[in-house]
A and B are shown apart, each in its own frame.
Chain A
Amino acid sequence: MAKKQCKVVVNESLCKGCNLCIEYCKHGALRSSSGLNKMGYHYAEPSEEAECIGCMMCTLVCPEVAIEVYGE
C-alpha cells in the first residue's frame, strides 16, 4: 500500500501552546517544542517519530488557526 503523503505545519508565531492538537493527534505526529516562541509559549511542532496522516483533527480543535495540513 502506498504511503499517504501528508505534512503538518504549525505557525509558531500564532501557537499558544495549549497542547490540544497534541492531545487529539492519535498518531503522535505533533509534540511540544523545547524552545519558546516570542509570546513565551512552548509551541507545537511536528514530531520526527510519527508521520501525519492528514486526518485534520488538530486543525478542528486549534483555537488559533495555527495549523496547516498539506496532503494529496
Chain B
Amino acid sequence: MKLKNKWPKYYKKDVSTHYCPGCGHGVVHRLVAEVLEELDLGKRAICVNPAGCAVLAYKYFDIDVIESAHGRGTAIATGVKRAKPELFVFTYQGDGDLSAIGTAETIHSANRGENICVVFINNAVYGMTGGQMAPTTLLTQKTTTSPGGRDPQFDGYPLHITDVVAQFPGVTYAERVAVNSPAAVLKTKKAIRTAFQVQVDGLGYSIIEVLSPCPTNWKMSSIASHKWIDEVMSKEFPLGVLADRRKRG
C-alpha cells in the first residue's frame, strides 16, 4: 500500500498550528501550499501576512514571507511585485485586516490592477482579538461587541468588499468560495489555482474570498459552523465567480 496524500512540499512538516480546532485557516494554508507546489512557484513565491489569526503563517509556509502592518498587505505586495516582477507575490489576509483597517489599500491596489493575488479569509468576526464585530459580521449575528446581535441602525450593514473590488476594471479575477465540505474545499483549491495562474500569466489582480469557519468565536461546534456557513453565511455572501476579465487580451 502506498501513501495517497503526500505532505505539501511548501508546508512545514509536522508543525502543530496555533489555530483552534475546526478553523478554516489550516485548510486554506494546505490548499495554498498544494497549489504552489503544483504550479512550481515555491522557489519564487513571497507571501505577505496580515495581522490577525494568520499572523503566524510564516511558521507554517515553507516559503519566504513578509509580515505586514495591520491592513497594509496589498501595499507591501505592490512594492515587492513592482521592484521584483519575476517573483510570485500573494497576500493572505483576514476580514479584519483586508476589509476594515486595510480598506484603502485593498481598494486602491485593486483599482490600479496590480499584478498580485489576494487570498481573503472571511470568517465574519475579529478572530485573534476575541470575536469582536467586524465589518463583515452578519446582521443579527452576536459577537462580543454586538451582544444583542448586529443592528443596522447602530452598526451598519455587512461590507461586501469583494463585490466592491470586483467592479473595478483593474480586477482580472474575483471569486467567492467556502471550505465547509469536501466538495467546497476542492472548489476553493480550483479557485486559488485560477487566481495564481492569472498572476503567472501576467493578467493582473485576482482576489479569492474564502468563507471560513471560526467555531470558537461563533460559539458552535466545528460541524455546526460548517452548516451555518451553508445555511446563513452563504445567503449573505453568495458563492461564485464575481468577475472574470481574463479574456480581454
Contact = CB atoms under 8 A, between A and B. Distances in A.
Contact of A23 (B7, B21, B223): B223
Interface string B191-230: 0000000000000000000000001000001110010000
B3 A70 contact: yes
A18 B8 contact: no
B179 to A, nearest CB: 8
Contacts of A20: 22, 222-223, 226
Contacts of A14: 14, 16
A51 B88 CA distance: 43
A60 B222 contact: no
Interface stretch (B46-54, B156-164, B180-188): B180-188
Interface in B8-28: 8, 11, 14, 16-17, 19-27
A16 interface: yes
Contacts of B8: 65
Nearest to B60: A65
Q: How large is the interface on B (under 10, 10 to 19, 20 to 34, 35 or more residues)?
A: 20 to 34
B30 interface: yes
Contacts of B83: none
Given A13-B16, A19-B223, A61 B182 contact: yes
Given A20-B226, A61-B185, A71 B2 contact: yes
B1 A5 contact: yes
A63 B16 contact: no
B4 interface: yes
Nearest to A59: B5
Contacts of B186: 60
Contact of A18 (B1, B11, B222): B222
Interface of B: 1-5, 7-8, 11, 14, 16-17, 19-27, 30, 179, 181-182, 185-186, 215, 221-223, 226
Closest 5 CB pairs of A and B: A63-B26, A18-B22, A16-B21, A18-B21, A70-B1
